Amino acid sequence: MISTIALKEITEMRRDDRFRWAGAVVLALLLVSLGIGWSSYRELERQHATAQQETRKNWLTQGQKSPHSAAHYGVYAFKPKMPLSLVDRGVDPYTGVAVWLEAHKQNDFRYRPAQDANSLARFGELTASTVLQTLVPLLIILFSFAAFTGERENGTLRQLLSLGVAPSALAAGKALGVAGALGLLLVPAAAVGSAAISLASGDLDSGRSILLGLFYLLYFAAFVGVSLAISAWVKSSRVALIALLGFWIFNCLIAPRAASDLSKRVYPTPSSFAFAKAMQVDLNNGLDPHAASQERAKELQARVLKQYKVDRIEDLPVSYAGLSLMAGEEHGDEVYDRHYARLWDQFERQVHLQDLIGLVSPLMSVRSLSMGLAGTDFQQHRHFATAAEQYRRYFIQEVNTDMVKNAIGKDYGYLRGNDLWGTVKEFRYTAPDLGWVLQQHRAALLLLCLWCLCGVALAYLATRRLRVE
């Protein structure tokens, strides 16, 4: 009985020009978005690889200079793109793709694509995730808003129930019919997407890809359940369509913007100017050799002389300039850790609050999980930024240590060549594993599963109320 009802639903949808055209448009947009994502991913990967090689070459061949000058010469660290980012770009357009690593400074990320976007960018980008999160639910509504109201208005609902068709079987058949119609669109798109990922990266992460598909299926199942429940509860197709469109507008248009505004109000962050100013004040109160007060410099000198048991700077068995630079870096690291930790933590609180808003909007949950699996969420941006900062401290420590040991009596006049630069290891970033990602988004995963269960439960309860009238 269930399969017969499902087949009947699919046949009716295939014969209806409205549904065929709507499905064709959504499928076309999904395929186009995958094509755009594939092209963008390939180009960014090529640019990143070229830029990373060039910055490494520049570091290795910078020639003879003071190690401190080399530390200021610095290097770029480029945030790698994961294959699934062609599906969901996440926060990458707003956080930047590279960071300049140099002595005394923890710089902000540069080259944010959103800065170069035109005014149309406020309406969002055409990505596969946008189509899946906003347009496919709208298609589900068009497929299912008249599932029960249409039967009631045509007089066939009474006949079905009077023939002994169980309401639960009727609901299951209609849900399966909607799922079958969606499958005709999503299965080809999933095949194209998998091929695009494999062609773009040469490696299809099956675990992440399967989970991504599963999470979107849970999201669609929640919409199918809610749509069938509304169609069973109300008396007319018009009312059902209006109610479901209202739910779609709230879920896809209002909730994301409201969540962003609410999180910023509850957990405000300082402006870039205020953040930089507060950090500079703390830096100037420390041992930064370019900004330290005379009193701080005297304290450092006294401590060093006592440590090495000498009376004069000239008698030190190491370079005092190198020690001063290392002391300044240590103080700067403390300042950066304190200020950036507060800023990152505040951003994470905003993200977690937005995840909790998934309680009233399933899109918030699936969006969080989608960005997480694509490696384009804030948590993984912070993970990369932390790794880049640790590398900055590593290579600054390497050149300063060489200066401390070998620049005795020469200080900033001490010069080194490419042999020293080659001893500094190249920056290699390892992205967090799948378990770490799921742990970061456990609240979103729980709420998405809850939405799916609630959708199924609502559909079941609503169809149980169906009676022969």
pLDDT at 453: 95
* pLDDT (tens digit per residue) in 145-157: 888 888 888 877 7
Please, what is the Cα angle at 79 between 75 and 80, to 5 degrees? Answer: 125
Mean pLDDT, the chain, as a whole number?
86
Using an 8 Å Cβ cutoff, are 152 and 255 in contact?
no
Q: 200: exposed, middle or buried (C-beta count within 10 Å: 0-12, 13-18, 19+)?
A: buried
State the pLDDT confidence band at 287, using cuts at 50, 70 and 90.
Answer: very low
Comparison of pLDDT for 284 and 35, the residue scoring more: 35
- Residue 257 to residue 183: CA distance in whole angstroms: 30
Q: What 3-state class would DSSP assign to 416?
A: strand
DSSP secondary structure, 339-397, as one string: HHHHHHHHHHHHHHHHHHGGGT-HHHHHHHHHHHHHT-SHHHHHHHHHHHHHHHHHHHH
pLDDT of residue 235: 86
Per-residue pLDDT at 120 exceeds 70: no
Of 19-33, 72-86, 298-312, 430-444, the range with the highest mean pLDDT is 430-444
Dihedral over alpha carbons 400, 403, 408, 413 (to 10 degrees): -110
CA geometry: angle 432, 434, 439, nearest 5 deg: 90
What average pLDDT does range 389-417 have in this prediction? 88
pLDDT at 115: 56
Assess whether pLDDT exceeds 80 at residue 18: no
pLDDT in tens, 228-266: 999 989 888 899 999 999 999 999 999 999 999 999 999
Instruction: State mean pLDDT over 108-132.
Output: 70
DSSP state of 417: -
Concatenated DSSP letters of 97-132: SEEEEETTEEEEEE--GGGG--GGGGG----HHHII
Least confident of 36-40, 160-164, 206-210, 460-464: 160-164
pLDDT for residue 204 is more than 70:
no
Q: Which three-class secondary structure state does DSSP give residue 81?
A: coil
DSSP 75: E
Q: Which of 101-110, 119-128, 192-201, 292-301 has the lowest mean pLDDT?
A: 119-128
Mean pLDDT of 85-102: 89
**What pLDDT does 315 receive?**
80
Confidence of residue 201 (pLDDT cuts 50, 70, 90): low
Query: Which value, in Å, is the radius of gyration of the alpha carbons in the chain?
Result: 30
Given this model, what pLDDT does residue 117 score? 53
The pLDDT, as a whole number, for residue 290 is 46
